[in-house]
């Protein structure tokens, strides 16, 4: 059994990749890849107070989500969403741990509410005014595949567009030594139940046990394995190259998520 939907918009940011247009050139082989620190734009859609508090994780999620919805010509305030990340905000978590290890153990309420796993979804609601349902998932390194499966199921069952936002960011030391995510990165897909003039490709998703598809470039493969949200890179590469075929994404062992992509 498989689930079918169409991709109407894409957003991406990663080390050396500023947006989907840049990703198309790099993943399509038309531009060389140079690894550089991830550049995150200030989320101008947020009120000033929330903008100052927005973490790197929140900036990543909002940036790719807005890019995908804009590309699809969709009003973000109307979209149901699925947010998926392998962990919460590392820098706020680090600050809370420092406080708890100090003599003054009074936690900042602002730090706390920015550290929780659904913080990015909350900021999305503030930024866009969205009142539609929102799911927030975590499945460690399988978080992108888990989010894609959930978003596909919702798209099919509710027969409505769903915005998938997958995002991760680094922890500072000493947690970084145990969870060495090197930088921030995010991927967003606007999934639709029917093909439209904006559709980029058809997706058919099912569970399987085939070997995981890797990135074709060694540097991009290193990114794919280092940042959980970038487990999406083989899918994005096929989309950028307009290449039909099956992509096997890391899911909960021993299963993989098999994605059959057909460009429009």
Q: Considering the domain boundaries, does residue 131 fall inside one?
A: yes
Q: Does residue 246 form part of some domain?
A: no
Tell me the average pLDDT of the chain: 94
Percent of the chain clearing pLDDT 90 (strictly above): 80
Domain assignment present for residue 36? The answer is yes
Is 89 inside any structural domain?
yes
Residue found under tokens 């290449």: 243
The CATH number that applies at residue 85 is 3.40.47.10
- Residue 233: inside a domain, yes or no? no
pLDDT score of 45 more than 90: no
Q: Which structural domain range is residue 94 located in?
A: 3-198
Distance CA 213, CA 231 (A): 9
Q: Are 162 and 79 in contact (CB under 8 A)?
A: yes
Residue 93 in this model has a pLDDT that exceeds 90: no
Does pLDDT of 177 surpass 90? Answer: yes
Amino acid 110: pLDDT: 79
What pLDDT band is residue 51 in, cutting at 50, 70 and 90? confident
pLDDT, one tens digit per residue, over 205-264 is 999 988 999 998 999 999 999 999 999 999 999 999 999 999 999 999 899 999 999 999
Number of domains in the chain: 1
In a domain, 220, yes or no: no
- Report yes or no on 47 lying in a domain: yes
What local confidence, expressed as pLDDT, does residue 252 receive? 92
The C-alpha atoms of residue 183 and residue 27 are separated, in whole angstroms, by: 19
Alpha helices in the chain (DSSP H): 20-27, 48-53, 56-71, 90-100, 109-115, 119-128, 143-158, 175-178, 218-226, 233-240
Is residue 229 domain-resident? no
Confidence of residue 10 (pLDDT cuts 50, 70, 90): very high
Highest mean pLDDT out of 113-122, 144-153, 206-215: 144-153
């Amino acid at each position: 059994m498989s689930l079918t939907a169409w991709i109407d918009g894409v957003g991406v940011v990663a080390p050396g990749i500023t947006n989907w247009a840049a990703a198309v050139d790099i993943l399509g082989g038309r531009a060389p890849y140079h690894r550089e620190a991830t550049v995150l734009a200030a989320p101008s859609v947020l009120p000033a107070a929330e903008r100052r508090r927005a973490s790197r994780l929140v900036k990543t999620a909002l940036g790719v989500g807005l890019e995908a919805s804009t590309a699809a010509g969709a009003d973000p305030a109307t979209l149901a969403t699925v947010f998926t990340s392998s962990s919460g905000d590392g820098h706020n978590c680090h600050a809370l741990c420092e406080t708890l290890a100090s003599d003054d153990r009074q936690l900042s309420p602002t730090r706390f509410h920015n550290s929780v796993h659904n913080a990015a979804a909350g900021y999305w609601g503030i930024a866009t005014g969205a009142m539609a349902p929102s799911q927030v998932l975590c499945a460690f390194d399988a978080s992108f595949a888990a989010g894609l499966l959930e978003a596909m199921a919702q798209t099919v069952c509710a027969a409505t567009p769903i915005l998938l936002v997958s995002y991760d960011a680094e922890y500072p030391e000493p947690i970084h030594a145990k969870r060495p995510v090197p930088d921030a990165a995010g991927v967003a897909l606007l999934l639709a139940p029917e093909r439209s003039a904006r559709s980029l490709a058809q997706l058919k998703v099912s569970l399987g046990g085939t070997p995981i598809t890797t990135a074709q470039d060694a540097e991009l493969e290193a990114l794919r394995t280092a940042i959980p949200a970038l487990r999406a890179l083989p899918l994005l590469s096929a989309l950028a190259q307009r290449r039909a075929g099956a992509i096997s994404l890391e899911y909960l062992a021993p299963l993989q998520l098999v994605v059959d992509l057909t460009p429009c």
